[in-house]
Structure 1
Amino acid sequence: MSFLQHARDLREVPANMAHVAALRHAFELANQAVMSAEELEILEKQEAFILDTRLTVEESREEGRQEGMQEGLEQGLEQQALATAKRMLATLDDATISEFTGLDVERVRRLRSDAGTTPR
């Protein structure tokens, strides 16, 4: 009630009342009621810009999360193919390993070389 009685004299929401969303909103409405049409238009444009910016940031974050998940999946599949290929080195030739794992033959050759095994 004190807020309503002294609202005309206030330039901002008192700190002890700032946590009450309804009071902050009421104060914003009171401020807008005394604004000129030009000031209201500027305020609306600022609010639209802020909203657009927030939406862009949220969309960018979501896109980044999706890309990160995709990259993680691809890396996981690559690691799985490499692990499978390493297990096959002792028993299969490079072409067969390449066919089963999806790794190119040159990559299988490098794995074999790094492991110190000879091709079959």
Structure 2
Amino acid sequence: MKLLLDTHVFLWLAGGEARLPPKTLSKLEDARNTVFISAVSAWEIAIKRSLGKLRAPDDIAAEAERFRFIELPVTISHAVATEKLPMHHSDPFDRLLIAQAIAEDLQIVTRDRAFSPYGVGIVPA
């Protein structure tokens, strides 16, 4: 299974917060699964930190490495795919994560219900 973390899930894990259901945590810990963290999440964290809206680890890359998450870069095709998504949700970070999940056949680990109308696979957080 290929999983893509929503930003809040990454932050919970990096902050040591035990908010994930046991089934979801088990999927993240299963070595047969590949877990991705998108450059979109790093961008979102950096922007919100710079605006004083978020407390987050100083070194996002080090946190991703600590958990052995694989970095998912943003490609031009990912960015262009957001234009074709219906406007169920206006958050640009989420829309890009959705486009990546669709393009790369990933399931998104999220608690955000706004992802459901897009038909992307969801692992409940």
The normalised TM-score by structure 1 is 0.21
Q: Which has the larger radius of gyration?
A: 1
Provide the TM-score with structure 2 as the length reference: 0.20
Q: Indicate the structure whose relative CO is greater, using CA pairs within 8 Å and at least 6 residues apart.
A: 2
User: Hey, which of these two has a bigger chunk of strand by percent?
Assistant: 2
